[in-house]
Amino acid sequence: LYWQLNSFGNYQFLFQDLAMTTVIGVTMSFTGAYPKLVPYRPPSQLISPPLLLSVVLNILFSLSMQIFGFVVVQEQPWYSKTDIYSACLSENKSVENSSFTSSLELHGMREGALEETDNGYKSYENTTVWLLSTINCLIVALVFSKGKPFRQPIYTNYVFVLVLVGQLGICLFLVFADIEDLYSKMDLVCTPTTWRISMVIMLAVTLAVSFLVEEAVIEN
């Protein structure tokens, strides 16, 4: 986004920092120790090769997903760098045709409101990267919440599980809700349903790859 002289909006940063990462960081530590001892100890240093490899690989997975979404959204037929409403224009044509005069009046009111609320952050790239990176926080939290042999399984931490489920529900609501006032406040723009589903698929693939690498490679 900085490449385009763009960034996340204030409420986008606040949502990620306060509603996501802070709550995750607090509740993740509620997981208790595993009740049985094992004949080997956990890594004594935070910079041990397995831990570093795990962090580096997950950073690469997250970065790859966000770059992929950033690039691919620009290749979509509905994408426009200057018109942030082009993606949902076809969905509004029937309304505009049914009442041309009313639509002109509403359009004028909408333009006036946009001039007051648009801070320059809104774009298809911003919406895509923010939604992907926000839900990716949940993926990283889930993948790094290892259970045996040193800690109890994640499902024993009821508060943490409820937090993850609640945050996932809110994030998916932001992806599919398409409420104009909410999107305006969060500096998001409307995208076609197919693209929203595509973002969910990207996240699912990232989760699967991260989990498989963590279990099959890092643990061994």
Condensed to tens digits (0 to 9), the pLDDT of residues 197-219 reads 999 999 999 999 999 988 877 77
Bridge partner list, 7: none
> In the prediction, which pLDDT does 58 show?
92
CB 130 within 8 A of CB 13: no
CA 12 to chain centre: 11
What's the pLDDT at 86? 77
**Rounded mean pLDDT, 174-202:** 92
Write down the mean pLDDT value for the chain. 82
- H-state helical runs in the chain: 10-14, 23-28, 49-73, 89-98, 100-117, 124-143, 158-176, 180-185, 193-213
Is 174's pLDDT higher than 80?
A: yes
- State what percent of residues in the chain have pLDDT above 70: 82
Of 21 and 41, which is predicted with more confidence? 21
Q: What is the mean pLDDT of residues 25-53?
A: 81
The widest CA-to-CA distance across the chain, in whole angstroms, is 78
Please state which of the ranges 144-148, 166-170, 211-215 shows the lowest mean pLDDT: 144-148
DSSP bridge pairs for 33? 151
* Residue 171 pLDDT class (50, 70, 90 cuts): very high
pLDDT(81) > 90: no
For the cut 60, the answer to whether the pLDDT of residue 20 exceeds it is yes
**Does the pLDDT of residue 98 top 50, yes or no?**
no
**pLDDT tens across 44-65, in order?**
777 777 788 888 999 999 999 9
pLDDT greater than 70 at residue 37: yes
Global pTM value? 0.81
Q: Is residue 162 scored above 80 in pLDDT? A: yes
Closest listed residue to residue 215, CA positions, set 29, 54, 31, 30:
54
Cα 3 to Cα 94: distance, rounded to the nearest angstrom: 37
Residue 147, pLDDT above cutoff 80: no
Positive or negative, the CA dihedral 47, 48, 49, 53 is: negative
